[in-house]
Amino acid sequence: MLDVVEVRHLHDYVLWVRFDDGTEGEVDLRAELWGEMFEPLQDVGLFGRVSVNPDTGTIEWPNGADLAPEYLLERVRSTPIK
């Protein structure tokens, strides 16, 4: 099972995430912030309050929104290295 072990808010809607398999990288989630749970995260202040939930092994926000670690890994792998 894949788990997120660390997350940092870098800027705007960009996060840096690290997984338990050692993979790490950036993901821009701006385009994903639609729908009832995610629209409140368009407030960068709330978006920046992201954290890792060790019980679920993924990231979440205070409003209960979360994203599957597999989805995040796919996004990290598809982001060009700068």
Question: Which domains does the chain carry?
Answer: 4-78 (3.30.2020.10)
Q: What is the mean pLDDT of the chain?
A: 95
pTM of the model: 0.92
Closest CA to 24 of 48, 43, 52: 52
Residue 8, both tokens: 């940092």
pLDDT of 20 > 90? The answer is yes
pLDDT of 79 > 80? The answer is no
Residue 77, both tokens: 């792998």
- 55 contacts: CB under 8 Å, gap ≥ 6: none
- Percent with pLDDT over 90 in the chain: 91
